[in-house]
Chains A and B, each alone.
Chain A
């Protein structure tokens, strides 16, 4: 065990290497001098005295070496010395070093970037203390023979669980929505989060300023309160801490600000602006399963225990909801609790693991490349190493030097890679798809740093060990056989280089096939007719008219009509309409309801099948570019005269009556009066282009006396959809705002975007994968080409003499060229064959990410193989041409 003195002196040597070495030098030479002096004084000549001293004792150099060896940390000193030596050797070959470090930097950097995403999204998806104790409280039920596991919660369930559970430390429900904030400046539509009092405590994130909601805040009659998120606080209050107690007008009602959440607060994968108390009433209809439950389990409680606990409470709750025993039995409602993690990660996991795998392959290719470079370099130093081996340098010493060198390379590569990763993350944030949660929160953290160090060490060890094993095994043979400049590469070295090139080509093929399949998927998606035309020319804006603004339902429709007229009058507008949600929109405005068909009642009292339901104004289909298959559109006369009409989609018509024509004149309803089908429109891919088009029902957007148990219903929140060439331009948006505010200046404009944005977002996952795999594939291709080029040009330089002899004997130039190109081509063909085999096995993992193309698509495989082989031929032809351009006489004389 070293003591303080030892560590101190070791540190001194480390920090002042020159000084402590000089002192040692002085001390030893002083000793020898005084021995010599003494001998001289005893009568020897100086010359004799020096010689005698030399003979009697170890040399000063040896003594110093022994002193060093005896000191603590001797091994470390040696390693530092050897590291300096390796660094010097690398500095002497800047070309080699640059290529190797850059290759590793790209490989390591890409891995660090993707790992930081994997870390944030998959490994630490919940940025809360003790996240494993958090569960999502869901239910399952059976409906029309189909089991659903995503059944949320109703108000009676909330109260029942809250009062009777034994396993939850904290429990609550939440929902999300939008609200308009007015008062100061222009009215603004904001994203809101509604929570019961224990949701924030369950997550364990305290407000930066102020307090959490209390049970009082949840109770009707108490003063209305609001908590701000950090970003909203910064934007609207400039981070003023005196914001507490101030009042904010939300949906026309003043609310007292009681707290501000910290900057790094994320609510699952959402980014709300305001947090409001969720005020639940116990007597809400039991069928309203609108709330999402979150619980923090008591310490020691398991998911299974919690499930059993809920299962114990649930029957009582259902009875209190007034459900009959038989209804309960047929519904089979049961708790389906799951780790909260799952609610956040969603389907991002698959994308990320595929990505991590492909980036890992890039690192392997980079290692193969560096190994190749090291081998070539080691061959160049064979002479030196053979001499050193003959002089007694052990296998271990030489192996250690090799490893140190490759570790140094990969450490440099790792450092540079970290820089690349930081830049890469910026890029990722820009192009990342919406379903990657918390993308903006991703950064290079401690775990990512550890990963980078590990990846660098892995790369260094792998490439170093491969070259050590290859090299030292041939070293002895070479040392014995003599190493001349004319000796060609040994067969062993040939073989290992060949294997490396084949591996590179094979790995590159796997990546290129993957990106090729993504390209084909993207093409297939682009070819889907989404049910609307030229979405980039459709401007959309959501406008909600709250009851606090306009109480009477009929007047809401009239105001929407007024706005529409103003909007349609803006120069450059071809047509305009409004609807409850636009195609491919997601969120709370999109929903299904059961739609019953006259004369086709469901057997055994089952509820009718759910259909995607929208409320649309006249001219909606014309604006979207959705064609009519049969019948006609609504007119304003239909709307104002309350005619009971409906338009349905082709799929709905065919499913129910067999054809579009047969549907006309038939009647359907969803809890209101029977309505006659007056038109059938072509299908719209409402769930995104990669999902089948749902069967759809379009009700007229107007007041209804009764709908789904709600009296005096009117769609208050609608999207104005405007077809114009000016969509998205600033000038147009200004005029649009003026048009809306000329009718009512208190209406905020929300979700201002073009339908084209929604359309490309529905392909975001595919285009993101395409971009990432494309980058990985291109990098792999580039590295593969560099690898082939390096090996062939090295072979060409080694066989210069042979090429010279052939040329001198009259071989034509192309014959010599063919010799080298053939080697590159043969290696690549074998690589392509191996890679194809691997790809067939691996691309099945991509299956769920593909669209309209098989993982074994022959066109993709053939195209990729052709590209790779062409690149290989080019990469070998360049050095081959140089070799064949050699002057035969010079090549022979050069020896």
Chain B
């Protein structure tokens, strides 16, 4: 049985990978995008976002590059790597399985 933090951590990783699948983004961009897509269900603060980014970068799933933004600021922009894409597809399948299974259990109970 996974602890809640593990579940949350795994979820956050999945959300970040999915967000970066569309296009490379910097930290603020990722947080904004997640909040927007989940309609505010997930408000990712920097205290969870950056550890997750660094962890994923360390695993080689994403890659950070310093880039100049339109505003003229420099920011570290993260992009999905090949192995990150593979990992994301895997996670998506897993997630569907888990979601279906959980949904089934819930409907039977109800």
The A interface, classified by DSSP as helix, strand, loop or mixed, is helix
B54: A residues at CB distance < 8 A? 24, 67, 70-71
Q: Interface 1/0s, chain A 10-43, versus B by CB < 8 A? A: 1000000000000110111011111101100000
Q: Is the CB of A31 within 8 A of B60?
A: no
B57 contacts which of A9, A28, A58, A63 (Cβ < 8 Å)?
A9
**In the complex, what residues of A have CB within 8 A of residue B74's CB?**
26, 30
Say whether A598 faces chain B, with CB atoms less than 8 Å apart. no
Q: Are B47 and A62 in contact (CB under 8 A)?
A: yes
A528 to B92, CA, bound (A): 95
Q: A3-B60, A31-B27 are in contact. Are A57 and B75 (CB under 8 A)?
A: no
Q: How far is the CA of A33 from the CA of B26 in the complex (A)?
A: 13
Contact A32 B46 (CB under 8 A): yes
B28 and A5 contact, CB distance less than 8 A: no
Q: Report whether B60 and A5 are in contact in the complex, using a CB–CB cutoff of 8 Å.
A: yes
Q: Which residues of chain B are near A32, meaning CB under 8 Å?
A: 46
Smallest CB separation, A72 vs chain B (Å): 6
CB under 8 Å from chain B, chain A span 48-71? 56-58, 62-63, 66-67, 69-71
Q: Report whether B58 and A67 are in contact in the complex, using a CB–CB cutoff of 8 Å.
A: no
* In contact, B50 and A67 (Cβ under 8 angstroms): yes
Q: Is B97 an interface residue (CB 8 A)?
A: no
Let me know if A28 and B51 touch, CB within 8 A. no
The listed residue (A3, A10, A27, A37) touching B50 by CB distance below 8 A is A27
CB of A78 closer than 8 Å to a CB of B: no
Confirm or deny: A165 has a beta carbon within 8 angstroms of a beta carbon on chain B. Answer: no
A58 contacts B73, C-beta separation under 8 Å: no
Whether A27 contacts B59 by the Cβ 8 Å rule is: no
Query: Which residues of A have CB within 8 Å of B57?
Result: 9
* Bound-complex Cα distance A339 to B27 (A): 73
Q: CB < 8 Å: which of B45, B60, B73 contacts A33?
A: B73
Known contacts A57-B45, A58-B45; decide if A28 and B59 are in contact (CB<8 Å): no
A66 near B58 with CB under 8 A, answer no
Does B86 reach chain A (CB closer than 8 Å)? no
CB neighbours (8 Å) of A24 from chain B are 54
Shortest distance between the CB of A769 and any CB in chain B (Å): 60
Given A9-B58, A70-B54, A71-B55, A30 and B75 contact (CB-CB distance below 8 Å): yes
State the Cβ distance, B38 to closest chain A Cβ, in Å. Answer: 18
B58 and A28: CB pair below 8 A? no
Chain B residues with CB under 8 Å of A35's CB are 28
Residue of A27, A33, A58 most packed against chain B (CB within 10 A): A27
The distance from the CB of B69 to the nearest CB of chain A, in whole angstroms, is 9
Give B25 Cβ to nearest chain A Cβ, in Å: 12
Which residues 44-69 of B sit at the A interface, judged by CB distance below 8 A?
A: 45-48, 50-52, 54-55, 57-60
Say yes or no: is A4 at the interface (Cβ < 8 Å to chain B): yes
* Chain A neighbourhood of B52, CB < 8 A: 70
Q: Which residues of B contact A5 (CB under 8 A)?
A: 58-60
Closest to A64 in B: B50
Interface centre among B28, B46, B47, B50 (most CB of A within 10 A): B46
Q: How many residues of A contact B (CB 8 A)?
A: 30
Residue of A nearest to B63 (CB): A5
Bound-complex Cα distance A23 to B73 (A): 14
A57 CA to B50 CA, complexed, in Å: 13
Per-residue CB contact flags for chain B residues 15-45 toward chain A (1 = under 8 Å, else 0) read 0000000000011100000000000000001
CB of A6 closer than 8 Å to a CB of B: yes
A28, B47: Cα distance in complex, Å: 10
- Identity of the chain B residue whose Cβ is nearest the Cβ of A73 in the assembled complex: B58
As a 0/1 sequence over residues 500 to 536 of chain A, the CB contacts with chain B under 8 angstroms (1 = contact) are 0000000000000000000000000000000000000
A4 to B61: give the CA distance in the assembly, Å: 12
Q: Would B47 and A4 count as touching, CB distance under 8 A?
A: no
Q: How far does the alpha carbon of A367 sit from the alpha carbon of B74 in the complex, in Å?
A: 55
* CB-defined contacts of B55 to chain A, threshold 8 Å: 70-71
Q: Which residues of A contact B28 (CB under 8 A)?
A: 31, 34-35, 38
Give Cα distance in the complex from A69 to B46, angstroms: 14
Say which residue of A4, A9, A69 sits within 8 Å of B51 (CB atoms): A69
Contact of A66 with B59 in the complex, beta carbons under 8 Å: no
When distances are taken between beta carbons in the complex, the residues of chain A under 8 Å from B75 are 27, 30, 34
Q: Which residue of B lies closest to A35 (CB)?
A: B28
Do A57 and B51 touch across chains, with their CB atoms under 8 A apart?
no
Partner of A28, one of B46, B71, B73: B46
Per-residue CB contact flags for chain A residues 65-102 toward chain B (1 = under 8 Å, else 0) read 01101111000000000000000000000000000000
The CA of A493 and the CA of B27, in the complex, are separated in Å by: 54
Is there contact, CB below 8 Å, between B58 and A6? yes
Query: Which A-chain residue is minimally distant from B46 (CB atoms)?
Result: A63
Once A66-B51, A69-B51 are accepted as A-B contacts, the answer to whether A31 and B58 lie under 8 Å apart by CB is no
Docked complex Cα distance between A585 and B27 (Å):
89
In the bound assembly, the distance between CA atoms of A69 and B71 in angstroms comes to: 32
Measured CA separation A30–B57 after assembly (Å): 18
C-alpha gap A28/B45 in the complex (Å): 12
The one of B45, B58, B59, B73 in contact with A30, judged by C-beta atoms closer than 8 angstroms, is: B73
Say whether A57 contacts B47, CB under 8 Å: yes
A177–B36 alpha-carbon span in the complex (Å): 98
How near does chain B come to A75, taking the closest CB pair, in angstroms?
Answer: 15
A27-B45 CB under 8 A given contacts A4-B60, A5-B60, A72-B58: no
Query: What residues of chain B lie closer than 8 Å to A72, measured between beta carbons?
Result: 58
Chain B: which residue is nearest A9 at the CB level?
A: B58
A27/B76 in contact, CB under 8 A: yes
CA distance A531 to B54 in the complex (A): 87
Give the docked Cα–Cα distance between A766 and B57 (Å).
68
**Chain B nearest CB: distance from A199 CB in Å?**
62
B residues in contact with A58, CB < 8 Å? 45-47
- Given that A27-B27, A34-B28 are contacting pairs, would A70 and B45 also be in contact in the complex, using a CB cutoff of 8 Å? no
Docked pose: A70 CA to B50 CA in angstroms: 10
User: Chain A residue with minimal CB distance to B60?
Assistant: A5
**Is there contact, CB below 8 Å, between A63 and B58?**
no
- Report the Cα distance A71→B75, complex, angstroms: 21
Q: State A867–B62 Cα separation when bound (angstroms).
A: 73
Taking the closest CB of chain B, its distance from the CB of A39, in whole angstroms, is 12
A23 neighbours in B (Cβ, 8 Å): 76
Complex contact A28–B60 (CB within 8 A): no
Q: How far is the CA of A250 from the CA of B50 in the complex (A)?
A: 84
Which residues from B are CB-within-8-Å of A27? 27, 50, 75-76
A3 touches B59 (CB 8 A): yes
Residues of B within 8 A of A66 (CB): 47-48, 50-51
Give the shortest distance, in Å, between A56 (CB) and chain B (any CB): 8
Q: How far is the CA of A5 from the CA of B75 in the complex (A)?
A: 22
Q: Which residue of B lies closest to A56 (CB)?
A: B45
Give Cα distance in the complex from A33 to B74, angstroms. Answer: 11
Query: How far is A572 from B91 in the complex, measured between Cα atoms in Å?
Result: 103
7 A-B contacts (beta carbon < 8 Å): A27-B50, A27-B76, A34-B28, A57-B46, A62-B47, A66-B47, A70-B52
Q: Contacts A30-B76, A37-B71 known; list 10 others, CB within 8 Å.
A: A4-B60, A5-B60, A26-B74, A26-B76, A27-B75, A30-B74, A30-B75, A63-B51, A66-B48, A67-B54
Chain A positions near chain B (C-beta within 8 angstroms): 3-6, 9-10, 23-24, 26-28, 30-35, 37-38, 56-58, 62-63, 66-67, 69-72
Query: Which residues does B use to contact A, with CB under 8 Å?
Result: 26-28, 45-48, 50-52, 54-55, 57-60, 71, 73-76
Please give me the 9 A-B residue pairs with the lowest Cβ-Cβ distance, nearest first: A5-B60, A58-B47, A70-B51, A66-B51, A31-B27, A34-B28, A27-B76, A63-B46, A67-B51
